[in-house]
């Protein structure tokens, strides 16, 4: 799902919309977590499109469902986007309350990236929230997040977001080599000869690459490789 978020972050709404059109025609069942991540991406798209009410409804349902299924990382991602959706919808008090609850949940993990990935808008809301935070450890946590924004680690550029997405499940050194050769247009047999391994080994590694990048074919894999600067 990461590379679709990259399209959205880069303003390429058309690519995301086309992808959603394609998955509506999909017949094979997908794992629950993948379906939920698609719902989160859809909510982000709705928010960018100005469909704030629909985004809020979807995020509220998704957060509750993720909690029930024990997908707590996804639940927090839905919650942080929900806080922004509340602000977008003029529901400032709900947005601040959502942020306070999320800070209380994530402070023991010292999770900064969850907030940094939302960009400077999140920093603005956190700054406004500081006077309302009385608990010392939570206040210190909020300030650490803001200090990270001030150091320039927030609002990552497009390539940095791509690298971050892949780091969630990194490619091995060998898989990176295979991806470079694949993106250059080489067949499995040609890659096998170049790397002095069997064709079956390359087939296995290509499938692993597809899974980690959440793509279905060479064209999609090559596009992700280009965006990651691997070609």
Q: Nearest CA to 156 among 144, 167, 164?
A: 164
Beta carbons of 83 and 71 less than 8 angstroms apart: no
- Helix, strand, coil tally for the chain in percent (to 5): 75, 0, 25
In angstroms and rounded to an integer, the radius of gyration of the C-alpha atoms of the chain is: 20
CA 33, 58, 6: angle at the middle one, nearest 5? Answer: 65
CA distance 97 to 87: 11
What pLDDT shows up at residue 3? 45
The phi-psi region of residue 120 (left if phi > 0; otherwise alpha if psi is between -120 and 50; otherwise beta) is alpha
What pLDDT shows up at residue 95? 96
Count Cα atoms within 13 angstroms, Cβ side, for 59.
25
CA distance 3 to 180: 17
The two structure tokens encoding residue 219: 């064209």
What pLDDT shows up at residue 1? 44
What pLDDT shows up at residue 137? 92
Q: Where in the chain is the domain with CATH 1.10.10.10?
A: 169-227
- In this structure, the chain runs to a length of 231
Q: Does domain 169-227 have CATH number 1.10.150.110?
A: no
Whole-model pTM? 0.60
What pLDDT shows up at residue 2? 46
Beta carbons of 60 and 83 less than 8 angstroms apart: no
What pLDDT shows up at residue 220? 79
CA distance 74 to 54: 19
The distance of Cα 214 from the centroid of its chain, to the nearest Å, equals 12
Q: Which fold has domain 2-157?
A: 1.25.40
Exposure of 210 by Cβ count < 10 A (0-12 exposed, 13-18 middle, 19+ buried)?
middle
The two structure tokens encoding residue 159: 């390539």
CA distance 185 to 168: 26
Q: Where in the chain is the domain with CATH 1.25.40.10?
A: 2-157
Mean pLDDT per 10-residue section of the chain, whose length is 231 residues = 47 56 60 79 83 94 93 92 95 96 91 86 94 92 90 51 49 87 90 92 92 80 72 60
């Amino acid at each position: 799902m990461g590379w679709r978020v990259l399209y959205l972050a880069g303003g390429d709404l058309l690519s995301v919309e086309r992808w959603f059109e394609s998955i509506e025609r999909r017949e094979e069942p997908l794992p629950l977590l993948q379906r939920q991540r698609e719902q989160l991406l859809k909510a982000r798209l709705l928010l960018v499109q100005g469909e704030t009410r629909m985004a809020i409804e979807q995020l509220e349902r998704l957060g509750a469902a993720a909690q029930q299924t024990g997908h707590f990382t996804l639940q927090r991602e839905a919650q942080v986007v929900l806080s922004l959706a509340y602000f977008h919808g003029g529901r400032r008090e709900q947005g601040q309350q959502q942020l306070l609850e999320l800070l209380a949940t994530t402070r023991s993990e010292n999770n900064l990236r969850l907030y940094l990935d939302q960009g400077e808008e999140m920093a603005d809301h956190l700054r406004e929230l500081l006077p309302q935070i009385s608990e010392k450890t939570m206040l210190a946590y909020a300030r650490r997040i803001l200090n990270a924004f001030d150091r320039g680690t927030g609002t990552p550029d497009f390539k940095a977001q791509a690298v971050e997405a892949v780091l969630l499940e990194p490619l091995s050194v060998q898989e990176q080599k295979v991806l470079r050769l694949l993106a250059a247009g080489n067949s499995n047999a040609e890659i096998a000869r170049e790397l002095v391994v069997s064709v079956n080994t390359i087939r296995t590694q290509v499938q692993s690459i597809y899974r980690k990048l959440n793509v279905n074919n060479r064209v999609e894999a090559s596009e992700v490789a280009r965006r990651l600067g691997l070609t």
